[in-house]
Structure 1
Amino acid sequence: MEWQDCTAKMEIDVPASVAYKCYSDREAIPNWMPFISSVQVLEDKPDLSRWSLKYNAFGRDLEYSWLARNMQPIPNQKIHWRSLEGLHGRGAVRFYPKGPSSCLIELTVSYEVPQLLAPVASALQPFLENLLKSGLDRFAKYAKSSGSTR
C-alpha cells in the first residue's frame, strides 16, 4: 500500500484557544467536513472514536470507516490522531496564534491509499487538499459563530 499526505492551511479570525476548543469536539467535525458523515466518541474510552466517511467522487460512492485514537494533545497548539483499525490513517491539526484574535490552522491528513484508488492516487491529492481547504473554510465560520457564543 501507498501512503499519501494532504495538507491545508488557513488563517481564521478567532483566537487559537477558541479554534482549538471547537476542533476538540470530535463529534462536531461533520458540521464542517462534508465527507465525514459521523464521528462517535466511545463512552468508556473517550480517547477513541469511530469515524465514517461517505463521499461521491468520480461517479462512485466511497464509504470507509475507522477507529481512531486521539494522541496526547498540546492544549491550544496541536490535536493529533491515528487510526487503529479500518482505513489506515493519521493526522494533525495545528494552531498558530497570529495575534489576540486570529490564528493559522494547519490540517494534515495522511492515509494509506485504498487499492481501488492506487492508480489515481497522485491525481487525487489536489482534489483531497481542496476538500480539506473547503472544510477549513466551513470550520472558520463554525468557530467564529461558536466563539461569539462562548
Structure 2
Amino acid sequence: MEIDVPISVAYTCYSDREAIPNWMPFISSVKILPDKPDLSRWSLKYKAFGRDIEFSWLARNMQPIPNQKIHWRSMEGLQNRGAVRFYPKGPSSCVVELTVSYEVPQLLAPVASALQPFLEGLLTRGLERFATFAKSYT
C-alpha cells in the first residue's frame, strides 16, 4: 500500500509495536517484555464466523533493517511469522508491504478455506488505517 509519509516516518510508526492495536483493531494488545525488548506478547480478539475468536502468542522481533524491514516469528502460542517491508516512492511517500504466514488453529479448521480472503481483507483495512495513523504522526 502506498502511504503519503516519508519512509522514515512509516518505519518509526510501525516499529512501535505497542501502538499496533491503534490501526489493527483485531489485535487487542501488544506488550513488550520489560526484561527482553525483542520479545512481545500479542493478544488477538475478534468476532468472526459466528464465534468469538481469541488467541495469544509470544513473538520475537528479528534483527530489523532500518527504514527497510521489520520481521518477526512467534515463539509460542498462535504460530505465525511475518515481515513489513518499506520501499521509497519519493521524499514524502513510500510503499508498505505486509506479509504474514500462519498455521490455521484447530478451532478455525472448519472455515480454513474462507480464512485467507477474510484475513487479507482485515490486513488491508489495517494498512489503510495505518496510512491515516502515520499521517497524523508527523
The alignment's TM-score, normalised by the length of structure 1, stands at 0.90
Aligned residue number for residue 4 of structure 1: none
Aligned residue number for residue 59 of structure 1: 50
Higher RCO (CA-CA < 8 Å; seq separation 6+): 1
Residue by residue over 1:48-105, the C-alpha shift from the partner in whole angstroms, topping out at 9 and shown as x without a partner, is 0000000000110000000000000000000000000000110100000001000111
Candidates 94, 97, 103, aligned match of 2:88:
97
**Which has the larger displacement, 118-127 or 32-41?**
118-127
Aligned residue number for residue 145 of structure 1: 136
Which runs of no fewer than 5 residues in structure 2 stay unpaired? none
Which runs of no fewer than 5 residues in structure 1 stay unpaired? 1-9
Candidates 120, 128, 131, aligned match of 2:119:
128
The letter for the 1-side match of 2:98 is L
SS in 2 for 1:47: strand
The alpha-carbon deviation at position 17 of structure 1 amounts to 0.8
Q: Distance in 1 between matches of 2:31 and 2:107?
A: 26
Large movers: runs of 4+ above 4 Å:
none
Percent identity between the two aligned chains: 85
**Once superposed, what is the RMSD of the aligned Cα atoms?**
0.7
Aligned residue number for residue 18 of structure 2: 27
SS in 2 for 1:93: strand
SS in 1 for 2:135: helix
> Matched residue pairs, number?
138
The letter for the 1-side match of 2:88 is P
The letter for the 2-side match of 1:126 is P
2:87 aligned with 1:84, yes or no? no
The alpha-carbon deviation at position 46 of structure 1 amounts to 0.2
The alpha-carbon deviation at position 115 of structure 1 amounts to 1.2
Residue by residue over 1:5-56, the C-alpha shift from the partner in whole angstroms, topping out at 9 and shown as x without a partner, is xxxxx10100111000000000000000010000000010000000000000
